[in-house]
Amino acid sequence: MGRSPRSGQGLPQFLGCFRSLLLPARITPRVLFVYCLIFLATIIFIGIRMHFRTTLSSVLYGMPALSQIASVSAAATADPFRLYTISAENITAKLIPYGARLTSLLVPDRDGNLQDVVVGYDDPKQYLIDTETNHTYFGAVVGRYANRIKNGTFDIGTSVYHIPENENGGEDTLHGGWVGYDQRNWTVTSYTNSSITFSFVDRGLEGFPGDVVTHATFSVQTETTTENPRGLPQLTTKLVSLALTETTPIMLANHIYWNLNAFKDETVLNDTWLQLPLSRRFIGSNGILIPNGTILDVSAYDGATDFTTGKLVGEDIESADGLCGTDCTGYDTCFIVDRPPQYAARNSIVPIVHMNSSTTGISLDVATNQQALQIYSCNGQNGTIPVKQSQIKRNQEEGIDGAEYVNKYGCIVIETEGWIDAINQPQWGQLSDQIYSPETGPAVNWATYQFGTI
Ligand SMILES: *[C@@H]1O[C@H](CO)[C@@H](O)[C@H](O)[C@H]1NC(C)=O
Ligand SMILES: *[C@@H]1O[C@H](CO)[C@@H](O)[C@H](O)[C@H]1NC(C)=O
Ligand SMILES: *[C@@H]1O[C@H](CO)[C@@H](O)[C@H](O)[C@H]1NC(C)=O
Ligand SMILES: *[C@@H]1O[C@H](CO)[C@@H](O)[C@H](O)[C@H]1NC(C)=O
Ligand SMILES: *[C@@H]1O[C@H](CO)[C@@H](O)[C@H](O)[C@H]1NC(C)=O
Ligand SMILES: *[C@@H]1O[C@H](CO)[C@@H](O)[C@H](O)[C@H]1NC(C)=O
Ligand SMILES: *[C@@H]1O[C@H](CO)[C@@H](O)[C@H](O)[C@H]1NC(C)=O
Ligand SMILES: *[C@@H]1O[C@H](CO)[C@@H](O)[C@H](O)[C@H]1NC(C)=O
Ligand SMILES: *[C@@H]1O[C@H](CO)[C@@H](O)[C@H](O)[C@H]1NC(C)=O
């Protein structure tokens, strides 16, 4: 029947046997027995695989609610752009698995009207397009190592690592490489009406050494606690990473763009007060924002960087010429957090930012366990990304003719993190907060964001 004579004797015999099994002339007890065996083998095989998977995920995630993990994660894997809402009184956050990303945050203004104070898109799918075009990192978790790594190179002990440089024509690695954590489809491992946890297993991605598992937990609450004595609406972010197999740099950060005036003004320069009470020093960098090893006092740049007692964002911005790189005026600066005696414990949570908007009356207080923070004043925006339609609508309903596009200086990014590129500046003494191994404790980036009104 057209079979190749070269296939020999064994194969046609085997195929014939197979065919008679699939299409038996007669159902004999022997055929039934073989069917039962195949059925049993399949069931056992699937069973073992499912069991293995469950065991694996419990090992990886170390979390108790296994059945919940399985069902929630299946949904998340299916759609990285599904919006998850968490809320408490006077605070509602929306997040998506793509980049473990905060896409909106509603808090009341001084009139009790809810405003969205984070920059982003209403349509979650737009974040994928953003990555391919502007690559703003709006609201994402960035990693494995936030900010820039000089020359994409670092040493650990006697090993030299070289990872892909994705910025400035090969001069440095920005936010973890070509495909950083901001582009990863995280797994939702827990979800309640006030908290969500995204998890991600990084198996030596982008050339970094070894496996790292991270749990990013976001929660909101309005209860009075020691950390929140006034019972203000509060967002808490916790990025907990474990080096599983090798010694590696780890420095994750949230990359949230804030706008406390909710785009009722064209920029944040003239209505937004910023205070960095503990930051008398910042990290000096070259024309492409790579640290050059210098630590500067905030009196540099005619005091443009001095936010210790607070001032309007725009007050001295003209003196911040070159501070955000060659031919750039504005802030893109890593401020050091120098802990006062009452917060001397190196990883205790300490208040580092106070910000408020005279337009909406919304205030934000940020506290963190991190040793530094990056402030970026949206110098790179140029009025080409539209403001969320949902916020434009709120502004119109209030009769306010606000911004329709995200303008230059139209927002502020606050990244609580370690001293940037400290892995290449061992003299700074920051390595114990940046290099992790299976033998060290976890890397924990913990921050709280409290909202009030003035
Ligand atoms: C929630 O916000 C409203 C309007 O600003 C305020 O009246 C109320 O006291 C707030 N609730 C809590 C628990 O803070
Ligand atoms: C954002 O992307 C759009 C579409 O590609 C482009 O027109 C615009 O110039 C970009 N804006 C910024 C700030 O990168
Ligand atoms: C940059 O990285 C390349 C490739 O690893 C290396 O050959 C070179 O020496 C590095 N340059 C500096 C200045 O570290
Ligand atoms: C995340 O999911 C989106 C949509 O399926 C996909 O386009 C993207 O490539 C995924 N990201 C990664 C890093 O696999
Ligand atoms: C959240 O869930 C808890 C317990 O399941 C319930 O008591 C509470 O009312 C819920 N809150 C909201 C805002 O839905
Ligand atoms: C900033 O606000 C002050 C006081 O409201 C006002 O006098 C000034 O004209 C404003 N400047 C700009 C550039 O909007
Ligand atoms: C490093 O950069 C700062 C500007 O941020 C500059 O003032 C300083 O002179 C530079 N230091 C070196 C050693 O290049
Ligand atoms: C806003 O914040 C600044 C400090 O950054 C502070 O001086 C000012 O008093 C605050 N405004 C109000 C009305 O609380
Ligand atoms: C806005 O910025 C983006 C990214 O830098 C650039 O591609 C685009 O040409 C700019 N658009 C305008 C109108 O300046």
Is the distance from CB of 402 to CB of 265 less than 8 angstroms?
yes
What is the enclosing helix (H) or strand (E) of 47?
helix 29-61
Atom number in ligand 8 closest to CA 363:
1
Is the distance from CB of 273 to CB of 358 less than 8 angstroms?
yes
Nearest Cα residue to 108 out of 232, 270, 255: 232
Atom number in ligand 7 closest to CA 286:
2
Instruction: Sort 366 into a burial class: Cβ within 10 Å, 0-12 / 13-18 / 19+.
Output: buried
Pick the ligand that lies closest to the CA of residue 325.
7
Q: How many whole angstroms from 125 Cα to the centroid of ligand 4?
A: 11
Residue 443 sits at the vertex; the CA angle it makes with 440 and 449, to the nearest 5 degrees, is 155
Structure tokens at 301: 């740049």
Atom number in ligand 5 closest to CA 193:
1
Atom number in ligand 3 closest to CA 153:
2
The model's pLDDT over 82-99, given as tens digits with 9 standing for 90+, comes to 999 999 999 999 999 999
Q: What percent of the chain has pLDDT over 90?
A: 82
| d(C-alpha 297, C-alpha 301), whole Å | 9
pLDDT surpassing 90 at residue 19: no
Residue 218 sits at the vertex; the CA angle it makes with 378 and 56, to the nearest 5 degrees, is 120
Q: How many whole angstroms from 154 Cα to the centroid of ligand 3?
A: 10
Specify the length of the chain in residues. Answer: 454
Q: Is 92 near ligand 1, meaning CB less than 6 Å away? A: no
- Ligand 8: residue whose CA is nearest its atom 13: 454
User: Residue 9: its pLDDT value, please?
Assistant: 45
Q: Is 153 near ligand 3, meaning CB less than 6 Å away? A: yes
What is the enclosing helix (H) or strand (E) of 384?
none
Q: What is the pTM of this model?
A: 0.85
Evaluate the CA torsion angle 271, 276, 282, 285 in order and state its sign: negative
- Ligand 7: residue whose CA is nearest its atom 5: 284
pLDDT surpassing 80 at residue 5: no
Atom number in ligand 3 closest to CA 151:
1
Pick the ligand that lies closest to the CA of residue 160.
3
Q: Is 68 near ligand 3, meaning CB less than 6 Å away? A: no
Q: Is 382 near ligand 9, meaning CB less than 6 Å away? A: yes
66/173: higher pLDDT: 173
The model's pLDDT over 112-162, given as tens digits with 9 standing for 90+, comes to 999 999 999 999 999 999 999 999 999 999 999 999 999 999 999 999 999
| d(C-alpha 131, C-alpha 95), whole Å | 17
User: Residue 7: its pLDDT value, please?
Assistant: 39
What is the enclosing helix (H) or strand (E) of 409?
none
255 is catalytic: yes
Residue 274: what residue type? L
Residue 250: what residue type? I
| d(C-alpha 286, C-alpha 297), whole Å | 16
Q: Is 110 near ligand 8, meaning CB less than 6 Å away? A: no
Pocket-testing residue among 384, 405, 408, 409, ligand 9, by greatest number of atoms within 8 A of Cβ: 384
Pick the ligand that lies closest to the CA of residue 293.
7
Nearest Cα residue to 213 out of 144, 142, 167: 144
pLDDT surpassing 80 at residue 258: yes
Could you tell me which residues are beta bridge partners of residue 156?
159
- Ligand 4: residue whose CA is nearest its atom 12: 184
Pick the ligand that lies closest to the CA of residue 424.
3
Kindly write down the DSSP assignment for every residue of 63-92, as one continuous string: -S-HHHHHHHHHHHHH-TT--EEEEETTEE
- Please state whether the peptide bond connecting residue 26 to the residue before it is cis, i.e. omega within 30 degrees of 0: no
Lowest mean per-residue pLDDT among 70-74, 267-271, 378-382: 70-74
Catalytic annotation, pick one of 135, 255, 266, 439: 255
The model's pLDDT over 205-227, given as tens digits with 9 standing for 90+, comes to 999 999 999 999 999 999 999 88
Q: Is 133 near ligand 9, meaning CB less than 6 Å away? A: no
Atom number in ligand 8 closest to CA 310:
5
Q: Is 386 near ligand 2, meaning CB less than 6 Å away? A: no
Q: How many whole angstroms from 269 Cα to the centroid of ligand 6?
A: 9
| d(C-alpha 239, C-alpha 144), whole Å | 11
Q: Which residue has the tokens 């910023």?
A: 274
CA separation, residue 58 to residues 52, 69, 184, 237 (Å) = 10, 9, 21, 23
Pick the ligand that lies closest to the CA of residue 134.
2
User: Residue 346: its pLDDT value, please?
Assistant: 85
Q: How many whole angstroms from 270 Cα to the centroid of ligand 6?
A: 6
Structure tokens at 50: 């499912």
Q: Which residue has the tokens 């995920």?
A: 57
CATH topology of domain 74-453: Beta-galactosidase; Chain A, domain 5 (2.70.98)
User: Residue 243: its pLDDT value, please?
Assistant: 98
Say whether 373 sits in a helix, a strand or coil: strand
User: Residue 1: its pLDDT value, please?
Assistant: 34
pLDDT surpassing 90 at residue 47: no
User: Could you state, in order of their start, the residue ranges of all structural domains in the chain?
Assistant: 14-61, 74-453
Is the distance from CB of 361 to CB of 109 less than 8 angstroms?
yes
Structure tokens at 202: 């990084």
Q: Is 270 near ligand 2, meaning CB less than 6 Å away? A: no
Q: Is 390 near ligand 9, meaning CB less than 6 Å away? A: no
User: Residue 227: its pLDDT value, please?
Assistant: 82
Is the distance from CB of 345 to CB of 298 less than 8 angstroms?
no
| Count of CB atoms situated within 10 Å of the CB of 413 | 23
Q: How many whole angstroms from 352 Cα to the centroid of ligand 8?
A: 14
Core vs surface per residue 293-321: b (16+ CB within 10 A) or e: eeebebebbeebbbbeeeeebbbbbeebe
Residue 1: what residue type? M
Lowest mean per-residue pLDDT among 10-24, 253-267, 273-287: 10-24
162 is catalytic: no
Say whether 438 sits in a helix, a strand or coil: coil
Residue ranges lining ligand 7, Cβ < 6 Å:
284-286, 292, 294
**Terminal CA-CA length for the chain:** 88
Q: Is 85 near ligand 5, meaning CB less than 6 Å away? A: no
Kindly write down the DSSP assignment for every residue of 145-163, as one continuous string: B-SEEETTEEEETTEEEE-
Instruction: Sort 344 into a burial class: Cβ within 10 Å, 0-12 / 13-18 / 19+.
Output: exposed
Nearest Cα residue to 124 out of 169, 171, 173, 81: 81
Q: Is 20 near ligand 2, meaning CB less than 6 Å away? A: no
pLDDT surpassing 60 at residue 54: no
Kindly write down the DSSP assignment for every residue of 170-202, as one continuous string: TTEEETTSTT-GGGSB-EEEEE-SSEEEEEEEE
| d(C-alpha 431, C-alpha 437), whole Å | 12
